[in-house]
Structure 1
Amino acid sequence: MAVALTLVRMKVAILRHSTKGQRGSTMATGGTLGLVLAAGTIYLAIQPGDWLAAAYAVWMLGWIIGPVFSGGGDETLRPEFFSLVGLPPQRLAAGLLVSAFVGVAPVISLIALSGLVVAGARESAVAALVAVPAMVLQLAVFVLLSKVAVAVLGIALRSRVGAVGAGLINGVVLAFLGQAWVFAVAFGQGGQIPGFVRYLPSGWGLLAVQGDYLALAAMAVLIALLLAAWAALLTRRAGANRTSARGRRPMRAATSQDAVVAKELRTWSRDLVRNHQLTFALAYGVFFAGAPLVLGWTGMLPWAAPIFIVMAASMTSNIYGTDGTALWLSLMTPGASDVRGRQRAWLVAVAPVALVLAVAFTSITGGPWALILAITAALLGGGAGMVPLLSVYALVPGTDPQRRAGNPLRTSEDDGALTGLAYLMMALVAVTAVPAGAVAALYGWWGVAAGIATGALCYWGLGRLAQRRLAAQGPELLHMMRTGRRPEGGPGTAFKLPDMPKAQRTIVMICWSLGAIPLIPQGVVAGVFISNGQLRHSWFLATYMTPGLRWPVVALMVAIGLTMYGLGLWIPHRAKKRAAG
């Protein structure tokens, strides 16, 4: 108990000193969105059926999959910090588990789990009392499942087979969450939830509230097993990664740019984190687009290629930050074009897979050839241009690959910034395909020419901007990656929020994080569906409207998205002007 209390006090002290500035605003934004989701979950407690069990299943999957996008989850206290203390693995795991309940995510999850009390109060007073320990045990299950999943993934990322397998599983699971409506319809439940959801570990608390008290014992046993598994995984996590003794062919390059390309391609093939990221993007794109096949609908299958490209760009949005201080090699080589080399290598890694997906899946459905090829071409150029540009302008200082801890997913200390950068990349890359998509929707094959032209323009123009920024701010960029501090006026400060009230920071973060939802899926994508006569699909609101309201709703959604992004830019701009004045 003394160890647990000490770790809790350490966690509280660290969090107390990390709730200022950009990180604090990110936590506030995430907490606000979490409270909204928790309130929606509690509302489901008064609805008939198994909606509450389904919501808790989503929360559980969020705890398991979330760390993939947030650098390995909350590791304010890393196990490596205590490797020299001499604590037994079980005692260390128990202490870290207690400290894991301190934070924004556990508090919000506990609020969401208070829906068990609401559900219990509808049954009887005894059920409401049973809901209290059920909440705590259910939260412990969520936290431990997250910890075990991160530990298993960290060990898997020490081998290429494990990295590819982990990326495949994570991509499939996340795509399943995005296309859950498909499987609900496939089960023939209509608007109901399949009954087996209640018997998942996420539903055991609800079973206990409904009178099955053995579910409490089952959760206690599961917690003990997960705790033992986590303790065993912590001992393996301390082990060092083994290096391959297999011989490598020497790199031969005629020019400095070819040398960069060769170095980057070696990195794409050897870095297990990049192997995981590319596999994840591929699995997500294929499964997300292929999920409607369960219903016999093939219309979304050709979109696997564009989805894959957007996800690949999002996963590599901090490409300079993940490479760390190796940038000094390029800075000390006169005439080397690091940006152009990285662009070429990115295309070599992504373009062949994307083109195969586009041609193969569009052949299966018989079209729309012009639209898919136009958007694919535009996205390839947009991704190749946007990845180095955003990484240079909004770089998040990362951990050098040779210094990564036992959790390979943690490539930076600022998880919130990495997540925000990934979402921003998704929105910006998707926007680069809008002109070509519009031309293809209106004029057919002319859209392919427009896609090639806009892709080439993005590749050349955005790459040139990134190249100039790197040449002008290269030493400052390297200093920031070495120290983790952003010099005033240096790289990344163009995207740094000025001093503003917390309310304004929260509004800006919400606009930047959620502006893509009305703009891209509810606006642009819904417009494409309507123009192709594809109605009443998934969550695209405009496709459910009457004929006279479909295009006005599309226009309204696009306007809302542009307004959110505009507001997210205008508020910081006004704050900067006030500070300068």
Structure 2
Amino acid sequence: MALGLTYATSLTLVRMRLAALRHALRDSNRVAWIGTGAFLGLVLAAGTIWAATKGDTDLVAVAVAVWMLGWVVGPLFAGGGDETLKPEYFTMLPLPPRALSGGLIAAALAGVAPLVSLVALLCLVVVGGQLSVGALLISVPAVLLQLLCFVLASRLAVAVYAVLLQVRSGAVLAALVNAFILAFAAQGWALIAAFISTDVQGTIARGARIAPSGWGLVAVEATGRGDWLRVLLAVVGLVVLCAAMFVAWSALLVRRTTAALAGVRVRRQLTAPDARGAAAAKELRTWARDLLYGHRAVFAIAYGLFFCMMPLAVGWKGMLPWAGAAAVVMGGAMFSNLYGADGTAFWSTLMTPRSAQLDIRARQRAFLLVFGPPVLVITLLLTWWSQAGAWPLVLGILPALLGGAAGLIVLASVYAAVPTTDAHKRSGNPLNSGENEGETMGLVYVMLVLVSLTAAPALGAALAWSWWGVPVGLFSGVLAWWYFGRLAAGRLEQRGPELLTLLRHGRTTGEHVDKASLSSKMALLPRWRRYLAGFCLGFGAIPLFPQAVVPAIFLLNAVDAKAWFLALYVEPRWQWPVIIGMALLGLGMYAYGGWTYWQASKLRPEAQHHLQPEPQTP
């Protein structure tokens, strides 16, 4: 009976998942993202299979470990992964936990990502075919068990992460892990170079085989040698591990759908002598008690430290002075949707007369109090440790970034608020902020660029006149803090009711129509042009920043490091032309993508009508 119920539930949920995927494919933008991700995944899968055809089983073990690592950490950066079917949707149904868990796992296997991973795991079949017929046969269940292990590990990681975010120490730990992983994605070349220089490739391969991601390969290789005990241990180990992860995830799923939040006793009343103090105290309480606020603040500061300290693995201290600046830029991006995070709680601010100015300034002061002291200490200590002559640059850029970030976060929060799930309605997965996760991530990417640009006057003054960059940075930071805050307060005073409506009900019908019309207008353009525009907007940062801005800073500061920067590998007379060329390429990619979308947005309705194909009569 239990197995029959689990099978029926799984079949129903798989059908629901496939139906949702079919509906998603009607959106040209979603199709472009899914197609791009699938293409890149298949390219990586082809590389994994190619390594297997060359007989390099060590490389195959490491590649499969990287695939499993992607399954575990990927959802942590993508809003908790794909939760088209949330467990909360089925809490009112009389389903046993095991039946619901089994159905959700089966539905998770019905998607593009598992299919791409299945193609990559065919490398085990290739290895088995090169060894013996028995190894080829054992590779088939090994592939299926390994894929199931990937999906279960991904779901369990998200569930554990969600539990950690519900306690303060866990939120801090999760932020540190998250920051290290993201910094490794950008600066991992230093650690990899250190590993290669110490000749530990064999150690990495052995570690990849010991990890659960390598047990399928171990089973295949052991079959080729006739070591049946090792085959049995590897296969049974995968089965037991999958069962254990399934049971643990089911238990966390029950906790997620049934646990109730306990009341919190107020330890100290919120008192203040005036309205200004009340606004400041309210905002500081929010930063201190909302675990997501604390998580994001720790993440931003830890990311700056990890990003700039990883090059120490190869003995390069040139990035150390910029750890504080990197933390401010990341912090400005992470807190660019303050009113969206408030949700409908914004009504209490809106109903208080003449509160807009006070609330805006209170949010700015809270940001400066949280980020200002730690990033200043980090900057001073690491700049002194690096023994680099970067004091004028650092001391000019840091106040400019702090003031710019404090001004831009409130400006973006008012002008570009993104509706998210209210704090009291958050699901058991705090990573999922609602249906507008894509808009939230888009705002984060834009803010990374905008906050960085606020340092341009101080950077130019410091490069041209050395210590004069410090007063320029102070002046530009104060100006950005004051002027952007003034704009945000004026907008909040005039359009506060509209903002509350947006946060409460989401996009209005007119806004949905405008958004859909842009998608439909883009669909009228040739497919190659749409995809090229998306590619340019997605990858224009690669030639612009790591291949132009960073090597330019290296040359100006006489940094003796090449890493993966193309301009530093050519002859000195060609270095600046390469940097300028890369900068023009990156700016050109952004310009082409933006120009394409701008042209599509200007199409008139009658033009759309004439461009649409005529319906064919049977």
Q: Compute the TM-score of the two structures, normalised by the length of structure 1.
A: 0.90
* Structure 2 CA distance for partners of 1:513 and 1:538, relative to 1, 3 Å: same
Q: Which among 215, 234, 259 is matched to residue 204 of structure 1?
A: 215
Contact 2:518 2:600 in 1 (8 A): no
Could you tell me which amino acid in structure 2 is paired with residue 319 of structure 1? L
Identity %: 47
Question: Partners in 2 of 1:251 and 1:24 — Cα distance?
Answer: 52
3-state SS of paired residue (2:114): helix
Question: Partners in 2 of 1:229 and 1:153 — Cα distance?
Answer: 13
Q: CA deviation at 1:26?
A: 4.1
Contact 2:316 2:561 in 1 (8 A): no
Equivalent position of 1:244 in the other structure: 264
Q: Which among 8, 11, 31 is matched to residue 5 of structure 1?
A: 11
Contact 2:518 2:601 in 1 (8 A): no
Equivalent position of 1:104 in the other structure: 112
Q: CA deviation at 1:5?
A: 0.7
Q: Which among 532, 551, 566 is matched to residue 526 of structure 1?
A: 551
Equivalent position of 1:573 in the other structure: 598
Q: Which among 517, 526, 532 is matched to residue 542 of structure 2?
A: 517
Question: Partners in 2 of 1:218 and 1:303 — Cα distance?
Answer: 46
Q: Which among 578, 582, 589 is matched to residue 564 of structure 1?
A: 589
Equivalent position of 1:366 in the other structure: 387
* Structure 2 CA distance for partners of 1:106 and 1:505, relative to 1, 3 Å: farther
3-state SS of paired residue (1:210): helix
Contact 1:523 1:555 in 2 (8 A): yes
Equivalent position of 2:455 in the other structure: 433
**Pairing of 1:407-556 with structure 2 (within 5 A):** 407-488=429-510, 499-501=521-523, 504-556=529-581
Equivalent position of 1:403 in the other structure: 425
Q: CA deviation at 1:78?
A: 1.5
Contact 2:426 2:433 in 1 (8 A): yes
Q: Which among 347, 358, 362 is matched to residue 368 of structure 2?
A: 347
Question: Partners in 1 of 2:40 and 2:212 — Cα distance?
Answer: 25
* Structure 2 CA distance for partners of 1:293 and 1:372, relative to 1, 3 Å: same
Could you tell me which amino acid in structure 2 is paired with residue 114 of structure 1? L
Q: Which among 174, 181, 193 is matched to residue 166 of structure 1?
A: 174
Could you tell me which amino acid in structure 2 is paired with residue 202 of structure 1? S
Greater shift in the superposed pair: 167-176 or 27-36: 27-36
Q: Which among 384, 397, 412 is matched to residue 406 of structure 2?
A: 384
3-state SS of paired residue (2:535): helix
Could you tell me which amino acid in structure 2 is paired with residue 12 of structure 1? L
Matched positions, count: 580
Contact 2:270 2:281 in 1 (8 A): no
Equivalent position of 2:298 in the other structure: 279
Could you tell me which amino acid in structure 1 is paired with residue 565 of structure 2? F
Greater shift in the superposed pair: 73-82 or 296-305: 296-305
Q: CA deviation at 1:224?
A: 1.0
Could you tell me which amino acid in structure 1 is paired with residue 373 of structure 2? P
Question: Partners in 2 of 1:318 and 1:495 — Cα distance?
Answer: 25
Question: Partners in 1 of 2:312 and 2:178 — Cα distance?
Answer: 20
Contact 1:69 1:419 in 2 (8 A): no
3-state SS of paired residue (2:603): helix
Equivalent position of 2:235 in the other structure: 216
* Structure 2 CA distance for partners of 1:327 and 1:93, relative to 1, 3 Å: same
1:435-488 superposed Cα distances (whole Å, 9 cap, x missing partner)? 433433343222223332333343334434444444444333322222222453
* Structure 2 CA distance for partners of 1:61 and 1:439, relative to 1, 3 Å: farther
Q: Which among 302, 306, 311 is matched to residue 321 of structure 2?
A: 302
Q: CA deviation at 1:33?
A: 4.2
Could you tell me which amino acid in structure 1 is paired with residue 177 of structure 2? I
Contact 1:63 1:146 in 2 (8 A): yes
Question: Partners in 2 of 1:201 and 1:65 — Cα distance?
Answer: 16
Contact 1:157 1:273 in 2 (8 A): yes
CA RMSD of aligned residues (A): 3.0
Q: What are the ranges of 5 or more consecutive residues in structure 2 without an aligned counterpart?
A: 1-6, 224-230, 608-618
Could you tell me which amino acid in structure 2 is paired with residue 223 of structure 1? C
Higher RCO structure, 1 or 2 (CA under 8 Å, sep 6+): 1
- Tell whether 2:312 aligns with 1:288: no
Contact 1:498 1:572 in 2 (8 A): no
Q: Which among 344, 349, 360 is matched to residue 330 of structure 1?
A: 349
Question: Partners in 2 of 1:441 and 1:228 — Cα distance?
Answer: 59
- Tell whether 2:336 aligns with 1:314: no
Equivalent position of 1:76 in the other structure: 84
1:482-510 superposed Cα distances (whole Å, 9 cap, x missing partner)? 22224536999699766312655544443
- Tell whether 2:192 aligns with 1:184: yes
Question: Partners in 2 of 1:372 and 1:495 — Cα distance?
Answer: 46
Greater shift in the superposed pair: 15-24 or 540-549: 15-24
Question: Partners in 2 of 1:59 and 1:183 — Cα distance?
Answer: 19
Q: CA deviation at 1:167?
A: 1.2
Greater shift in the superposed pair: 511-520 or 550-559: 511-520
Contact 2:14 2:107 in 1 (8 A): yes
If each structure's helix is expressed as a fraction of its own residues, which one has the higher value? 2
Contact 1:430 1:520 in 2 (8 A): no
Contact 2:168 2:291 in 1 (8 A): yes
3-state SS of paired residue (1:538): coil
Greater shift in the superposed pair: 282-291 or 196-205: 196-205
* Structure 2 CA distance for partners of 1:264 and 1:516, relative to 1, 3 Å: farther
Question: Partners in 2 of 1:56 and 1:227 — Cα distance?
Answer: 21
Question: Partners in 2 of 1:203 and 1:156 — Cα distance?
Answer: 28
Q: CA deviation at 1:128?
A: 4.9
Question: Partners in 1 of 2:17 and 2:438 — Cα distance?
Answer: 18
Could you tell me which amino acid in structure 1 is paired with residue 73 of structure 2? I
Q: Which among 10, 16, 20 is matched to residue 22 of structure 2?
A: 16
Question: Partners in 2 of 1:561 and 1:380 — Cα distance?
Answer: 27
* Structure 2 CA distance for partners of 1:221 and 1:434, relative to 1, 3 Å: farther
* Structure 2 CA distance for partners of 1:376 and 1:226, relative to 1, 3 Å: same
Q: Max radius of gyration: which structure?
A: 2
Could you tell me which amino acid in structure 2 is paired with residue 448 of structure 1? V
Greater shift in the superposed pair: 565-574 or 200-209: 200-209
Question: Partners in 2 of 1:492 and 1:457 — Cα distance?
Answer: 35
Q: CA deviation at 1:400?
A: 0.4
Question: Partners in 2 of 1:487 and 1:261 — Cα distance?
Answer: 36
3-state SS of paired residue (1:235): helix
Contact 2:51 2:57 in 1 (8 A): no
Q: What are the ranges of 5 or more consecutive residues in structure 1 without an aligned counterpart?
A: none
1:525-564 superposed Cα distances (whole Å, 9 cap, x missing partner)? 2211122222444333323333122222221222122112
Question: Partners in 2 of 1:167 and 1:492 — Cα distance?
Answer: 37
3-state SS of paired residue (2:158): helix
